[in-house]
Structure 1
Amino acid sequence: MKIFNKTLLLSLIILLAACGGKGNKETTSNDDGLNDRNEIRLKQYQVKGAQLYATYCVNCHQQNGEGLANLFPPLAGSDYLLEDLPRAACVIKNGATDPIVVNGREYTQIMPANDLTPLEIAEILTFITNAWDNGKGLSGVKDVEKWLTECSN
């Protein structure tokens, strides 16, 4: 019985030690500079963003993000997208009518406005700026809310 109690006590100590010791998860950073909470949000936004992309964007920009011939611009490796995320948020929300140049090629098709929430736009932006090796990171909903209030439309 003494051996059982000592084994049980030792097991509990090991279990408690294994569960603790990492400190505050909110401030623990990984190599990308994201804390654990933001890393989880990044993954969640990418999953939900992929679903929203399939609903709102895939018909024009295609599943692989390469766009559609000379009609609709690519998102994969898009200099236009990656150089100005606030502008991208505004275009997703409000659409665009002016010609744009993406990777040296001009596109003149109209992009329709989308009735999406700031959270949904953040999710789509996070997905498209990380898919296809774009590697841009998390677009937070607070950032998107700020960007949308500053849209010039």
Structure 2
Amino acid sequence: MKILSLLIVLNIFFLSTNNDSEIYNTVNQETELQKSMKRGKEVYSDMCATCHLPNGEGVPKVYPPLAKSDYLMQNREESIRAVKYGIRGKIVVNDVEYKGIMASLGLYEDEVADVMNYITNSWGNKNPKMITEEEVIKIEKK
């Protein structure tokens, strides 16, 4: 009987110390990339979607696509530089030439990182390495 009582007490103790909210929070925590992408989606909606469209498809021969973009995914530093400082001149995206101007958007480095994480992980793009604010800081204007 004493053993049974002890087992019941121990069981009650362990059940009472098991905090379900802690388990829930651990399971549902967002990763740093997910948090960055969420912030980046807001920046994209405010600053980029007008030209590149909400679905990232751009306007043929006017505004390059970001969706499934070979340029974006193969030219990491140049893409970050374009978002940070703007871009002027010819680029080729998915075998289509674009020659235009994208003005500097005046974003902070953390906003550049966030929007780059969003666009490089959306619409068929998959970036294996998160873009950080520190990486963006190191990108200089040419």
Whole-angstrom distance in 1 between the partners of 2:134 and 2:12: 44
RMSD of the alignment, in Å? 2.7
- Please state if 1:76 is matched with 2:77: no
| Residues 85 and 141, structure 2, Cα contact 8 Å, conserved in 1 | no
Structure 1 counterpart SS, 2:97:
strand
Name 1:120's counterpart in structure 2.
Answer: 111
Cα deviation, residue 7, structure 1? 3.1
Alignment coverage as a number of residue pairs: 132
1:4–1:98 distance in 2 versus 1, CA, 3 Å = farther
1:125–1:8 distance in 2 versus 1, CA, 3 Å = farther
Give identity over the alignment, percent.
31
- Please state if 1:132 is matched with 2:114: no
Q: Which runs of 5+ in 2 are unaligned?
A: 21-25
- State the one-letter code of the partner of 2:95: G
TM-score (norm 2): 0.80
Q: Which runs of 5+ in 1 are unaligned?
A: 20-24, 26-36
Name 1:9's counterpart in structure 2.
Answer: 10
Whole-angstrom distance in 1 between the partners of 2:127 and 2:78: 15
The equivalent position to 2:41 in structure 1, one of 43, 50, 53, is: 50
1:16–1:128 distance in 2 versus 1, CA, 3 Å = same
TM-score (norm 1): 0.75
1:121–1:15 distance in 2 versus 1, CA, 3 Å = farther
Whole-angstrom distance in 1 between the partners of 2:99 and 2:12: 67
- Please state if 1:59 is matched with 2:50: yes
Cα deviation, residue 93, structure 1? 1.1
